[in-house]
């Protein structure tokens, strides 16, 4: 049986929505997929080598399981605006400037440089800020372990990332929602939990990525996400999108649009709102989801369907 790292629960809201792990044998998987969705067989029908998400798989780094430096995941999506407050309170700007540009003689890396930032994994930035690091035996970086709560450090990580790529605004997210809904949600689910309609009966193996999983997505650089959306993941059911068009939505998956998609994927595990506003928004979402589920249930009861 495959237990993906994404199964490791982090957010409380995850517990309710997660689908059960894949137990189906591959032959059965392919048959079910063939029966259910002819158009996707090309994607799932011919994967003969089983790649599970363990340490040997390049999709998941070993970083997240390193000894006593095991990261403590946040309870909810880290807040970029709250991270800004921590950045100010901890005087990070003394060396990194208010905008991430290095102060001469204090730092050299430009935190606002997109090219650099797209190569950084959130979990490594968390490590760096939490535990500090000796740079070539020189000065030690300020260590936040005893000064801040893990959730404050996560806020800081995503604030630092926002200095190079600001998070999508609610308006931008709303613009992309229908594109994601039409092209991705069938596998990844409308809210990114990896539980889209194609997942009914666990017919895809591996499971479509759960974008709400901290351990998985904090171990990804933006560059890797871009590559996986642009070029797909061979044999794993993730299609390639670079160069494709969605005529109905009048968009083209060109290079800049795929970067916007990366920002959209990030919105499932970072927040452009304060911690308090984020919690409220999630509570509201959960209520709406519960209502939708109830409506769907009473609908299928009326039509005499048996629910599974």
Q: Does 92 bind ligand HEC (CB under 6 A)?
A: yes
Give CA separation, 146 vs 73, 160, 254, in Å: 16, 20, 44
Helices (H) and strands (E) in the chain, counts: 14, 2
Rounded to 5°, angle at Cα 28 from 26 and 30: 70
* Separation of CA 275 from chain center: 18
Interface residue with ligand HEC among 7, 18, 156, 251 (CB under 6 A) is: 156
| Residue 237 in tokens | 């059911």
Measured CA to CA, the distance from residue 274 to residue 152 in angstroms comes to 12
CB nearer to ligand HEC: pick between 95 and 281: 95
Give the contact letters, 252-271, x = binds to ligand HEC (CB under 6 A), - = no.
---------x---x------
Which of 32, 61, 85, 128 is close enough to bind ligand HEC by CB under 6 A? 128
Tell me the backbone φ, ψ of residue 249, rounded to 5 degrees: -95, 0
Distance CA 308, CA 298 (A): 14
Sequence length of the chain is 308
**Residue (50 or 284) nearer to ligand HEC, CB:** 50
Residue 237 as a binder of ligand HEC (CB under 6 A): the answer is: yes
> Which residue from 7, 22, 160, 168 is in contact with ligand HEC, where contact means CB under 6 A?
160
Considering only 113, 172, 175, 236, the residue that binds ligand HEC (CB under 6 A) is: 236
Angle subtended at Cα 218 by Cα 113 and Cα 130, rounded to the nearest 5 degrees: 80
At closest approach, how far in Å is the CB of 76 from ligand HEC? 20
Which pairing describes strands 251-252 and 245-246: parallel, antiparallel, or unpaired?
antiparallel
Least separation in angstroms between residue 193's CB and ligand HEC is: 13
Residue 96 in the binding site for ligand HEC (CB under 6 A): yes
Which residues are near ligand HEC by CB under 6 A?
A: 40, 43, 59, 87, 90-92, 94-96, 102, 106-109, 120, 125, 128-129, 135, 141-142, 144, 156, 160, 183-184, 186-188, 198, 204, 206, 208-209, 216, 220, 224-225, 228-229, 233, 236-239, 241, 261, 265
């Amino acid at each position: 049986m495959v237990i993906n790292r994404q199964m490791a629960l982090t957010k409380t809201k995850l517990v309710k929505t997660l689908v059960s792990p894949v137990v189906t044998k591959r032959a059965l998987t392919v048959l079910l997929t063939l029966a259910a969705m002819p158009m996707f067989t090309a994607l799932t029908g011919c994967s003969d080598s089983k790649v599970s998400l363990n340490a040997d798989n390049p999709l998941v780094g070993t970083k997240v399981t390193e000894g006593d430096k095991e990261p403590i995941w946040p309870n909810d999506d880290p807040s970029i605006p709250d991270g800004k407050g921590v950045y100010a309170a901890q005087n990070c700007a003394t060396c990194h400037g208010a905008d991430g540009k290095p102060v001469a003689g204090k730092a050299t890396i430009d935190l606002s440089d997109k090219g650099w930032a797209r190569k950084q994994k959130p979990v490594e930035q968390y490590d760096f800020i939490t535990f500090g690091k000796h740079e070539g035996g020189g000065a030690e970086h300020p260590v936040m372990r005893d000064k801040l709560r893990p959730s404050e450090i996560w806020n800081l990580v995503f604030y630092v990332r926002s200095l190079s790529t600001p998070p999508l605004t609610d308006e931008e997210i709303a613009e992309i929602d229908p594109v994601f809904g039409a092209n991705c949600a069938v596998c990844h689910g409308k809210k990114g939990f990896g539980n889209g309609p194609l997942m009914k009966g666990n017919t895809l193996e591996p499971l479509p990525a759960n974008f709400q999983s901290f351990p998985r997505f904090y171990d990804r650089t933006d560059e890797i996400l871009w590559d996986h959306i642009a070029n797909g993941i061979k044999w794993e059911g993730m299609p390639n999108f670079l160069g494709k068009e969605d005529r109905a939505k009048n968009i083209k998956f060109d290079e800049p649009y795929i970067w916007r998609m990366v920002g959209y994927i990030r919105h499932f595990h970072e927040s452009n709102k304060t911690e308090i506003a984020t919690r409220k928004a999630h509570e509201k979402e959960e209520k709406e989801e519960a209502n939708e589920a109830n409506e769907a249930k009473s609908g299928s009861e009326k039509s005499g369907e048996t629910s599974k």
